[in-house]
Amino acid sequence: MPIDMKEILSIRGLSKSYKNVTAIQNLNLEISEGQAYGILGPNGSGKTTTLSIVTGIIHQDEGSFNWFGKHPHANQRKKIGSLIETPHFYPYLNLIKNLQIICDIKGISYKDIYRVLESARLAERRKSRFSTLSLGMKQRLGIAAALLGDPSVLVLDEPTNGLDPEGIAEVREIVIQQVEQGKTLILASHILSEVEKICSHVAILKKGELLANGPVKELLAEDEIIEISCDRNEELKGKLEGSELVNEIETENGLLVLTLNGNTTPADINAFAFSNELVIHHMLSRKRSLESQFLELVKED
């Protein structure tokens, strides 16, 4: 890690099993200050288990983790606000009373309650009972509770799970605002588009193992795909396979479907064919969707 990047969370060889099910296996991650870090994977990939371990809810079987460059200890929790799975509040109490209970548990002044309700866009509903809130509002109250004490790190587990598009957008805007204010975000989600919109970095999990991690723009970049055809497709395919212009070549309905390599452009493909005395009479550019790439990455072998 570069010396100018302050370590927030370091995970080393983390493993956890439940009876005969391996939840996470030898997980290694490094998260730095100011990053919006997504942990992406389908249900059952180990996201919640990972966040539950690093927030002290459950214990790992093997491995270790450090917060802020130090072995985890109780005082660190004041710097970490978390929402793991469904938020739990008293249905018959209003929002202020519910947050007062959290303040008592955390040892935080009640003066912070209005600020977090404003951040979660719930100030106008502060005297409403929890039971009267929509699902989206309940999730936002969970985020408000995580923000009590103004922690420097926000850990959120599927904060948009089960919400309608409007609720998802509201939660997303609140989370992005916290990132813009300088908080480090660790966000678990199975929704690729949400990770792409919120996060700067991403780790992709499948069945408890780390498949890939890195900057979102690099890891989830859209590949350009073109479909081409000429009078001698098999000859053109052979020539392209021997070049460094393409990553993949597939045959589809009499067409060659090319996944371009790096900075290769359709014009480069056309020039390459012409240099080999092959004339392309059909060329169409298309993009592989992020969703299809994600599904391809985590699909069963």
Residue 185 lies in a domain: yes
> What count of Cα atoms within 13 Å lies in the side-chain half-sphere of residue 270?
10
Residue 1 lies in a domain: no
**Are residues 156 and 243 part of one domain?**
no
pLDDT over threshold 60, residue 139: yes
What pTM does this model have?
0.77
Mean pLDDT of 86-109: 93
Render pLDDT for 2-61 as a digit per residue (tens, 0 to 9).
435 699 999 999 999 998 899 999 999 999 999 999 999 988 899 999 999 999 999 999
Is pLDDT larger for residue 116 or for residue 5?
Answer: 116
**Are residues 91 and 171 part of one domain?**
yes
| Domain end residue (candidates: 165, 200, 219) | 219
Mean pLDDT of 100-117: 94
**Are residues 161 and 147 part of one domain?**
yes
Least confident interval from 138-147, 274-283, 285-294: 285-294
Going by DSSP bridges, is the β-strand pair 209-215/21-32 parallel, antiparallel, or unpaired?
Answer: unpaired
Render pLDDT for 248-286 as a digit per residue (tens, 0 to 9).
898 888 899 888 887 888 899 999 999 999 999 999 876
- Kindly state the tokens that stand for 172: 């997303």
**Are residues 255 and 131 part of one domain?**
no
**Are residues 149 and 116 part of one domain?**
yes
CA distance readout (Å), 148 to 87, 159, 197, 245:
14, 17, 25, 53
Render pLDDT for 58-85 as a digit per residue (tens, 0 to 9).
999 999 999 999 998 888 888 999 999 7
| Domain end residue (candidates: 186, 219, 252) | 219
Residue 120 lies in a domain: yes
Could you tell me which residues come within 8 angstroms of residue 3 by beta carbon, excluding any fewer than 6 positions away?
none
pLDDT over threshold 90, residue 219: no
Residue 2 lies in a domain: no
| Domain end residue (candidates: 219, 251, 273) | 219
pLDDT over threshold 70, residue 151: yes
Question: Structural domain tally of the chain?
Answer: 2
CATH number at residue 282: 3.30.70.100
Residue 35 lies in a domain: yes
CATH number at residue 151: 3.40.50.300
**Are residues 239 and 150 part of one domain?**
no
**Are residues 190 and 95 part of one domain?**
yes
Q: How confident is the model at residue 292 (pLDDT cuts 50, 70, 90)?
A: low
Residue 145 lies in a domain: yes
Residue 119 lies in a domain: yes
Could you tell me which residues come within 8 angstroms of residue 73 by beta carbon, excluding any fewer than 6 positions away?
none
**Are residues 177 and 274 part of one domain?**
no
* Strand locations in 144-262 (E): 153-157, 184-189, 201-206, 209-215, 224-230, 246-252, 255-260
Residue 198 lies in a domain: yes
**Are residues 200 and 105 part of one domain?**
yes
Mean pLDDT of 96-108: 94
pLDDT over threshold 80, residue 86: no
**Are residues 214 and 77 part of one domain?**
yes
**Are residues 88 and 31 part of one domain?**
yes
**Are residues 269 and 213 part of one domain?**
no
Tell me the pLDDT of the chain averaged across its residues.
89
Cα Rg of the chain (Å, integer): 24
Q: Which domain holds residue 235?
A: 224-298
